[in-house]
Structure 1
C-alpha cells in the first residue's frame, strides 16, 4: 500500500505541472485529475469482489503492473496528447485502487482482531507519510529531470510490490512451519 501511494502521488502531483508546461488550460488539468480521482474510487466495489475471487496477492501484483503501465504511458505520451494523459492517469488511479484494496485485505488476513486496528492505523500513518514524501520527491525529480523520468521511476517503483509480496509470502510460510 505504501509503494502504490508513493507511485500514485508522485505522478499525479506533477501531471498538472507537466500539462501547464505544455500549454494545457486549467479545464483540461481539472478533467484529467477528476477522471483520475474517479478511477481511484469508483471501481472499489468491483475491486473488492476481484480481490476475493482472484486473490489478494494476484490483485496486488496486478496493481504493480497497472502502475507500471501508467508510468510507461505517461512517460511516452507526447506533451500535447490529452487522451494519453487521461489514459495514464486512469491506469494510475486504477492501479492505486487495486493496491489499496488488495493490501487492506492482506492486512485483515494477517492480523488477529485484537491487533488489527492498531496495525491498520500504523499502516495508514505510513501511507500518509509516503504520500507526502512522494509528493515532495516528485518535485525534486521533476526539477532535476523531467516528467517522463518521474513517470517511469514511479512505475518501476510500483513493481517493487512483486518481490515484497513474494518475500512476505515466504516469510509467513517459514513462520507458520516453525
Structure 2
C-alpha cells in the first residue's frame, strides 16, 4: 500500500508550504512541508527551500513514515483511508512516538472505534492544546473512519472540554 493523493493533500493542507525556516509551535526550526531535518541535517534559521525541492523532499520523507506504519501495523486488513490517516499522524508526531502510541495498539487489536476516539490525544504542542493540531487530528480521524470531506475547517468553541483526555 502507498499513501494516496488524498492522504498527501491532507498532509499538505495542515503542514502548509513554507519557503523560509520558521519556528513551529513546538519551538523547532521547520521548513517546506513541515520538515525539521533534510538529509539528516537539522533545519536552522535562514534556511530556504523552493516548492519544487519541498515536493521532492516530501515524497522522500513520506517513504520513511510509510515504512514505519507498515512495520508496526501488524494486521493486513486496513483500508486506504486508514493507512493514509496513520501515515499523516506518523509524519506529524514522528516514528518513535507513533510506534509507542495507543493508536497502534488499538489498530493492531482491530479496535478501530477505539483508535478513532483517541486521535485527539495527539493535539498538544509544547504541553498546550493546539487548535491547529486538534483540527488535524479530527481530520485524520475523519479520514480513518472514511467520513466524506474529512478536513475539519473549524474547531468547536468548547473544544477544551469536548476533547479533553479520556
TM-score by length of 2: 0.29
TM-score by length of 1: 0.28
Higher relative contact order (CA 8 A, sep 6+): 1
Comparing both structures, which one devotes a greater share of its residues to helix?
1
